[in-house]
Chain A
């Protein structure tokens, strides 16, 4: 149905011979516009590649970095750190949320702590983590885990404790056991909250990757950014930043797809 509607909208657009949804055209247009402004600003207004690299310079630098093999290594190292840190935050966050949602006393006890840790800029403790866990990937994973885990806990608890009372009442009146109410009503109704928590913490985890590597690392995109900045290789700094930006957009979009699949009824009231 949605596809049919998009098709109908598309027919009214001038680009109807290319079968892309209109949203994608607008996104492409806005990226193109930003790219042109960037190129002109860097080339003719700033003029000094030390301050701002033009997009064409950045593209050229990407190719040379790729040829050296450094770029792949750095991407891989950062990816591994992100995957472990974010993955463990997702698993631990959801499980902790489930436990806290059930256990009222523990929740009231830990609520202030979780709120405080959520608001604490964990990354400011980066140097300490290097001191405790060394310069390798473990310290990075720990920092990423701690920046990402709290939104997931908080959202899971919120999802499980704010189930629509009518839905629970309906299940009870149909003779549901407490276990059935949990698995067939409360858990599925909390799914959109949990996914929202996962989405919120993706951005935090990506920032965590970079900052964790800034404080001391042997490889990774953050390491590449800080190293390039220290050797005045501005184009390489932008290569790292743009790769992280793309990674952020892609992971958020993947989670949106997951949400659309698991919670299709939420599609109407969310940003498209």
Chain B
């Protein structure tokens, strides 16, 4: 078995919202092995995004800590790269200069980072688009640039926050396949947040299911489907069994979180 790459120990986060203490995450302890692809699902508002932001060091935890290769993470660094839901491309930069943004911020040599960007764009299937501007690209192509930008940092760990949520379903399926190919070629460790159960099963070695607020680990499902996975795997009985099992686990959480929303709406009304 591969060594542990990333681990969280008793990770928790509370916010102070209008004078009320709001716990987004409580006591999360997980281990992710080197090269593992971990999907994270859960009802909306269960703190999945907060979890990724804590791991990246964008926000500080209220309790617990994050370790990469045994070292504690306290601020964003080159060990971890974040792929945001909105592509967050800088509109005034070309595709190549967007892709090379990370190494540029780390003050590497310009010819070197431009070459890295060029090569990475080819890896994500955007060879020849170096000099285009983001507004000239489709949503799927922009997400490819978003992924390429995270890859150029040279991080071993990729955190992905619903990167395909804004794409249409055909583009999404193609991007899922592309992501698996890229991960296979670059051997990244990935934490992938999604609200689509079939996406989590299709991509992941292991799926973590979070409870509704406060987010905690409810259950984990090891997805034992052979790789490389073709799209047709989504129609096999095993695949459907996995999605069923995850859906059942998540269903009561979703119901609970909808209930919570109804309650809080009712509170606002009164």
Give residues in A with beta carbon < 8 Å to B. Answer: 1, 164, 166-167, 169-177, 180, 184-185, 188-189, 191, 262-265, 268
Contact = CB atoms under 8 A, between A and B. Distances in A.
Given A175-B102, A180-B105, A169 B88 contact: yes
Contact of B58 (A173, A189, A191): A173
Contacts of B82: 170, 173
A191 B92 CA distance: 10
A191 B93 CA distance: 13
B92 A189 contact: yes
Given A180-B105, A184-B105, A265-B135, A174 B92 contact: no
Nearest to B85: A166
Contact of B91 (A171, A184, A265): A265
A164 B56 CA distance: 20
Contact of A263 (B77, B86, B92): B92
Given A169-B84, A174-B153, A265 B76 contact: no
B86 A173 contact: no
A175 B92 contact: no
Interface string B169-202: 0000000000000000000000000000000000
Nearest to A171: B105
Given A167-B90, A184-B105, A189-B92, A174 B76 contact: yes
The 4 closest A-B pairs by CB, nearest first: A265-B91, A170-B88, A173-B82, A174-B102
Interface of B: 56, 58, 76-78, 81-82, 84, 86, 88, 90-92, 101-102, 105-106, 133-136, 149, 153
Given A265-B91, A265-B92, A265-B135, A174 B101 contact: yes
Contact of A166 (B77, B84, B106): B84
Nearest to A173: B82
By CB atoms of chain B within 10 A, which of A170, A173, A185, A263 has the most? A173
Contacts of A180: 105
Contacts of A1: 136
Instruction: Please classify the interface of chain B as helix (H, G, I), strand (E, B), loop, or mixed, using the class held by over half of its residues.
Output: loop
Contacts of A265: 91-92, 133-135
B77 A268 contact: no
A175 B76 contact: yes
Contacts of A171: 101, 105
Contact of A176 (B56, B81, B91, B105): B105
A260 B77 CA distance: 36
Contacts of B88: 164, 166-167, 169-170
By CB atoms of chain B within 10 A, which of A1, A180, A265 has the most? A265
B53 to A, nearest CB: 9
A184 B92 CA distance: 10
Contacts of A268: 135
15 contacts: A164-B88, A166-B84, A166-B86, A167-B90, A170-B82, A170-B88, A171-B101, A173-B82, A184-B101, A185-B90, A188-B92, A189-B90, A189-B92, A262-B92, A268-B135
Contacts of A185: 90
A136 B25 CA distance: 70
Given A173-B84, A174-B149, A265-B92, 9 more contacts: A170-B149, A171-B105, A173-B76, A176-B105, A185-B90, A189-B90, A189-B92, A262-B92, A265-B91
Contacts of A184: 101, 105
A186 B132 CA distance: 22
A169 B101 CA distance: 13
A263 to B, nearest CB: 7
Contact of B106 (A169, A173, A175): A175
A188 B97 CA distance: 14
Nearest to A167: B88
A173 B81 CA distance: 7
Contacts of A264: 92, 133
A169 to B, nearest CB: 7
B57 to A, nearest CB: 8
B92 A170 contact: no
Contacts of B84: 166, 169-170, 173
Contact of B78 (A164, A175, A263): A175
By CB atoms of chain B within 10 A, which of A1, A167, A174, A188 has the most? A174
Contacts of A173: 56, 58, 76, 81-82, 84
B133 A172 contact: no
A165 B71 CA distance: 29
By CB atoms of chain B within 10 A, which of A172, A175, A176, A185 has the most? A175
